[in-house]
């Protein structure tokens, strides 16, 4: 698990919140922004940072 946290964040990948919870609550892990756009597709809640584009399925 520690190895995953040290690797660079890939903005093309959708991260799973269960595996990669927020380092700081309600903040983007890459840029620390709290400004997100959210969508639901196929029953999956997707949160995307409006600053850098990092995505997490919640």
Q: What domain range is 36 assigned to?
A: 2-57
Residue 20's contacts (CB-CB under 8 Å, 6 or more residues apart) are: 4, 5, 29, 56
- C-beta separation of 39 from 24 below 8 A: no
Tens digit of each residue's pLDDT (9 = 90 or more) over 10-53? 999 999 999 999 999 999 999 999 999 999 988 999 999 999 99
- The predicted pLDDT at position 8 comes to 85
Looking at 1-58, list the stretches that DSSP marks H as alpha helix, in order from N- to C-terminal side. 2-6
Residue 4 has pLDDT above 90, yes or no: no
pLDDT at 7: 64
Q: How many domains does the chain have?
A: 1
């Amino acid at each position: 698990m520690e190895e995953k946290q040290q690797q660079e964040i890939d903005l093309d990948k959708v991260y799973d919140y269960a595996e990669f919870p927020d380092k700081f609550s309600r903040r983007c892990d890459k840029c620390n922004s709290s400004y997100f756009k959210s969508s639901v597709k196929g029953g999956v809640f997707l949160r995307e940072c409006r600053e850098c584009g990092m995505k997490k399925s919640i």
